[in-house]
Amino acid sequence: MGSTMDSPGGPYLNLGAVTSPVGTTRLLQLAFGCTTFSLVAHRGGFDAAYGTFCMSAWCFCFALTGLVVAFEFTRLHGCLRLSWGNFTAAFAMLATLLSATAAIVYPLYFTRFECPPEPEGCTARDFRLAASVFAALLFVTYATEVVLTRARPGQVTSYMATVSGLLKIVQAFVACIIFGALVHDSRYGRFVATQWCVAVYSICFICTVVVVGMSVTGRAGTLGFPFDRIVVVYTFLAVLLYLSAAVVWPVFCFDPKYGTPSRPSGCPQGSCPWDSQLVVAIFTYVNFLFYVADLAYSQRIRFVPSL
């Protein structure tokens, strides 16, 4: 067992896991995360899919952060079959995106300055306001960890800590938003062209998840071929695929020949196909820009499979 630990002859506990800047940031994440979902669960309240998402995001981030701190403090992460640096960098970026989304969604749907009617009353409003503040602080702490652990120019570090690696997490997250809009009555099955766009989103999402998975599990260096070159080639192909979707989707959804340029007047709020199509179009362009930035940054890094 000693050969798998970080420091076989050293102390079993790693105080730096809680006293270093990154460790202190993670302790703040635990404190803010616990406070946020406790306020919501106690009196703030939540309902519907939006509230469930926020609570799930906060609980997921809290649980994973607690495991990261525990494993680093006890040095047990050396026993895991993971590339620990890649795992923590990927999780920090994912937690940043989740906490940012929850910090926007919860105040947008649940927080009001006016007191709701009884039995909730002003107490529920105060709890929701406090939860919104701590949700914003939680996002700040996760973003701080990303900044602290991000690779610097000339620094040898894990791939997921580089800009290219962090963008992989963002690309997958944006793709999930696109999928959510697609299944919400976007009517993408009307044309073969829009079905092609769905295929583009799916292929790029799967390949991006595979790249992240190979990096996190430390299997990238055991494939027998240059993983970094494969990633660059894939990113280039993804740019071309997303470029085609960025052209095709708006034409077949908003051109008068195939769709509607403006929102129909009789379209119900919250269940209008045009709204879903607009969300897909916007985030298609967003993800296209992320893939272009990824391709540009990938030319400036060199892959080190052992990290």
Q: What is the pLDDT of residues 54-86, one digit of tens each?
A: 999 999 999 999 999 999 999 888 888 888 889
Cα–Cα distances in angstroms (integers) from residue 194 to residues 56, 186, 241, 248, in the given order: 32, 10, 13, 7
Query: 138 and 254 share a domain?
Result: no
Domain boundary among 97, 119, 154: 154
The domain containing residue 28 runs over which residues? 13-154
Asked, for residue 4, whether it belongs to a domain, the answer is no
Domain count, the chain: 2
Asked, for residue 279, whether it belongs to a domain, the answer is yes
Confidence of residue 6 (pLDDT cuts 50, 70, 90): very low
Domain boundary among 154, 181, 210: 154
Mean pLDDT of the chain: 87
Query: 230 and 145 share a domain?
Result: no
Query: 50 and 173 share a domain?
Result: no
Query: 119 and 177 share a domain?
Result: no
What pLDDT score was predicted for residue 302? 63
The answer to whether residue 125 scores a pLDDT higher than 90 is no
Confidence of residue 47 (pLDDT cuts 50, 70, 90): confident
pLDDT in tens, 210-267: 999 998 988 877 777 777 888 999 999 999 999 999 999 999 988 888 878 888 887 8
Q: What is the mean pLDDT of residues 276-305?
A: 87
Domain boundary among 99, 124, 154: 154
Asked, for residue 72, whether it belongs to a domain, the answer is yes
Output 33 or 7, whichever has higher pLDDT: 33
* Cβ-count burial 255-293 (b if 16+ within 10 Å, e if not): eeeebeeeeeeeeeeeebbbbbbbbbbebbebbbebbbb
Q: How far apart are the first and last CA of the chain?
A: 21
Query: 240 and 183 share a domain?
Result: yes
Output 142 or 121, whichever has higher pLDDT: 142
Confidence of residue 3 (pLDDT cuts 50, 70, 90): very low
Query: 78 and 104 share a domain?
Result: yes
- SS3 at position 218: coil
Query: 233 and 144 share a domain?
Result: no
| Longest CA span, the chain | 73
Q: Token digits for 85?
A: 């640096």
Query: 146 and 255 share a domain?
Result: no
Pick from 249, 260, 233, 251: nearest CA to 285: 249
Q: Which helix (H) or strand (E) holds 131?
A: helix 121-149
Q: What is the mean pLDDT of residues 121-137?
A: 88
Query: 53 and 175 share a domain?
Result: no
Residue 165: burial class (beta carbons within 10 Å; 0-12, 13-18, 19+): buried
The answer to whether residue 5 scores a pLDDT higher than 50 is no
Preceding amide of 264 cis, omega within 30: no
Query: 51 and 145 share a domain?
Result: yes
Residue 1 half-sphere exposure, CB side, CA atoms within 13 Å? 4
Confidence of residue 303 (pLDDT cuts 50, 70, 90): low
Query: 94 and 181 share a domain?
Result: no
Output 245 or 4, whichever has higher pLDDT: 245
Number of other CB atoms surrounding residue 153 within 10 Å: 6
Residue 293 half-sphere exposure, CB side, CA atoms within 13 Å? 15
Confidence of residue 304 (pLDDT cuts 50, 70, 90): low
Query: 171 and 237 share a domain?
Result: yes
Please report where in the chains the tokens 């047990």 appear, as a residue.
76
